[in-house]
Amino acid sequence: MKKLLIAAMLFVGIAGFAQDKKERLTPEQRNEKQLQKLTTELNLDTNQQAQVKQLLADRSAKVEKLREAREAQKDSDVKPTASEREAFRNELKAEKEANDAKMKSILNADQYTKWKSIQEENKEKAKDRIREYRKDKN
């Protein structure tokens, strides 16, 4: 009986540990998951879904390109200058504004307002996660 109990506890422990690892989603899977979430939260019609799906795919491709460029820069051990960092920030800001303008053209006024509030909530959650990470690290 003891062996059965120990085996059961061991199995539960291993199963719990295995679930702690998060699977990395592919960009396509992330886009599809985000599209489904937006469809549900904003009640998108099929035309809007197609447009948002294309927008997410375009944005994902640009982000991947920027990530690769950043990794290449890290590998070269060359730190960007202040002007390069500022140019990068401006590029990201312009990209975000262009994305917002495209979403505004796709969504109706109520949907856009709700989307902006979701964006703000997500921004706050991200800031909280960063604060927690920094607090745990120190």
pTM of the prediction? Answer: 0.71
Nearest to 111, CA basis, from 23, 35, 30, 43: 43
Please report whether residue 18 resides in a domain: no
Please report whether residue 127 resides in a domain: no
Please report whether residue 98 resides in a domain: yes
pLDDT the model gives residue 20? 47
Please report whether residue 119 resides in a domain: no
Q: How far is CA 119 from CA 43, 78, 103, 124, 126, in A?
A: 16, 34, 12, 9, 11
Between 22 and 21, whose confidence is greater? 22
Residue 12, token pair as written in the block:
């539960």
Please report whether residue 39 resides in a domain: yes
pLDDT of 123 > 70? The answer is yes
pLDDT the model gives residue 8? 55
pLDDT of 63 > 60? The answer is yes
Residue 104, token pair as written in the block:
């505004």
Number of domains present in the structure of the chain: 1
Please report whether residue 62 resides in a domain: yes
CA–CA dist 19, 16 (Å, integer): 5
Q: How far is CA 16 from CA 10, 22, 23, in A?
A: 10, 12, 15
Please report whether residue 93 resides in a domain: yes
Say which residue the tokens 């998951």 belong to. Answer: 33
pLDDT the model gives residue 6? 63
Please report whether residue 20 resides in a domain: no
Query: By residue range, what is the domain housing residue 75?
Result: 25-108
* Amino acid at the residue 62: K
